[in-house]
Amino acid sequence: MANLTPSRLPARNTTELKAILEVLEQTPFCTVSYVHDGQPYALPTGFCVYEHELIIHGSIKSHFLEAVLAAGDVCVTTFLFDGLILAASAFNHSVNYRSVAIFGQARELTDPDQKAASLQAFTERYVPGRWPHLRPMTKGEVQATRAVAIPLDQASLKQRSGGPGTTQDPWSEKVWMGVVPSRQVFGEPIPFEGQEPREVPEHVKRLLK
């Protein structure tokens, strides 16, 4: 079992599930790390949380998912970049962030209904309200997709927020100090050129808010 006790700076850490779920909801992608032949491998991928597990998915032909299931043990990490901390010295520069680490055993979702429901949750997580507009998923599409679940009972959140710490550095008088906040945003939707022009639907416009 992985040691979730933070080794340094404990004030920035928590294993409280509610806080972890809130951050995962706001984080679009994760990185899944696993061991194959004693070597480290990792792949960034989308995810959703479904029935208290983290779900990743891909083609049934995906070598990545095959390797993850063969490995069993995974480490999943997420990272949200919230801002740059600018101090008077390079040494005191830092970053505001929220980062989750999850250790667990990956398992395949084999029940077709559960798999289909997790894929619906996946779509709705990225584009809330889109599902009812889509052509319904076919049985063949569900069969062609592999969904892999990782439990969340060994998860921890590490974060930093706020500004630069008060500093005794005399250069604090000379150098502009502060935070430059950062976030991921959506831009104006670009309609598919192979389609008759039509109004951008509300569920797509809402992504920009």
Q: Is 188 in the site for a second copy (CB under 8 A)?
A: yes
Closer residue to a second copy, CB minimum distance, 26 or 89: 89
Interface pick for a second copy out of 18, 90, 110, 209 (rule CB under 8 A):
90
Closer residue to a second copy, CB minimum distance, 112 or 191: 191
108 close to 145: Cβ distance less than 8 angstroms: no
d(CA 75, CA 42) in angstroms, rounded, equals 9
d(CA 10, CA 18) in angstroms, rounded, equals 18
CB 111 → a second copy: shortest distance, Å? 18
d(CA 127, CA 188) in angstroms, rounded, equals 15
Closer residue to a second copy, CB minimum distance, 69 or 84: 84
Interface pick for a second copy out of 10, 128, 129, 178 (rule CB under 8 A):
178
Q: Is 156 in the site for a second copy (CB under 8 A)?
A: no
d(CA 108, CA 104) in angstroms, rounded, equals 13
Interface pick for a second copy out of 19, 21, 42, 69 (rule CB under 8 A):
42
Q: Is 175 in the site for a second copy (CB under 8 A)?
A: yes
CB 18 → a second copy: shortest distance, Å? 22
Interface pick for a second copy out of 11, 18, 110, 173 (rule CB under 8 A):
173
Q: Judged by CB under 8 A, which stretch of 10-18, 48-56, 147-155, 168-176 contacts a second copy?
A: 168-176
Residue whose entry in the numeric block shows the structure tokens 């998912």: 65
d(CA 24, CA 26) in angstroms, rounded, equals 5
Q: Is 112 in the site for a second copy (CB under 8 A)?
A: no
Within 8 A by CB and 6+ apart from 19, the residues are 157
Q: Is 33 in the site for a second copy (CB under 8 A)?
A: yes
Compute and round to an integer the Cα radius of gyration of the chain: 21
Over the window 65 to 84, marking each residue x when it contacts a second copy by CB under 8 A and - when it does not, the resulting string is ------x-xxxxxxx-x-xx
d(CA 106, CA 66) in angstroms, rounded, equals 11
Q: For residue 147, what are its two tokens?
A: 């969904």
Rounded to whole angstroms, the maximal C-alpha distance in the chain is 68
CB 199 → a second copy: shortest distance, Å? 8
